Amino acid sequence: AKDYELRQYETAKWVSTVIRGETQKEAMRQGFWKLFHYIQGKNEKEMKIDMTVPVTCLVKSGCTDFKISFFVPFEHQDCPPQPTDSNVFIEERKAAALFVRSFGGFASPEKYAEEADALARTLRNRGQPFHEDFYYTAGYDSPFKLFNRHNEVWYFKK
């Protein structure tokens, strides 16, 4: 479809943290830094790991807990170093089909919510079953990149 795509993702490991009781913007800031410290060596092997994209944020309806995640690089998928921060963990996300809507510009929590609403409306109108109680935001660019920015919202197909 022209306004979304259906992607199949394989099972993969992500390094994640959950920030509770903050605004989404503040949760993203705090979560990013916790995960950034992990890839900078705050792990059991004191290993520096390359930054990957996207940075995702799990948004659940009516909930102020946000799970922020970095994709574990392919070379560390089999055996990622364990975090030394008790609030950071490695999770394995199972293979899944995702409905994805892409958009440009600087994405705020409000913009992500607007794009998620638009994707949800489109999927409902087309009779596509999906998990409506949560979505992921996905950011692909450094805050220093000014042009041709890429952002996404993801709903899981039922």
pLDDT reading at 129 higher than 80: yes
pLDDT digits (tens, 9 = 90+) for 71-128: 999 999 999 999 999 999 999 999 999 999 999 999 999 999 999 999 999 999 999 9
User: Residue 143 has what pLDDT?
Assistant: 83
Rounded CA gap, 113 and 121, in Å? 12
Q: Is the pLDDT of residue 2 over 90?
A: no
- CATH code at position 39: 3.20.80.10
Q: How far is CA 2 from CA 6, 21, 96, 102, in A?
A: 11, 36, 21, 11
Number of independent structural domains in the chain: 1
Write out the residue range of the structural domain in which residue 101 sits.
5-156
pTM of the model: 0.96
Residue 1, pLDDT > 80, answer no
pLDDT at 112: 98
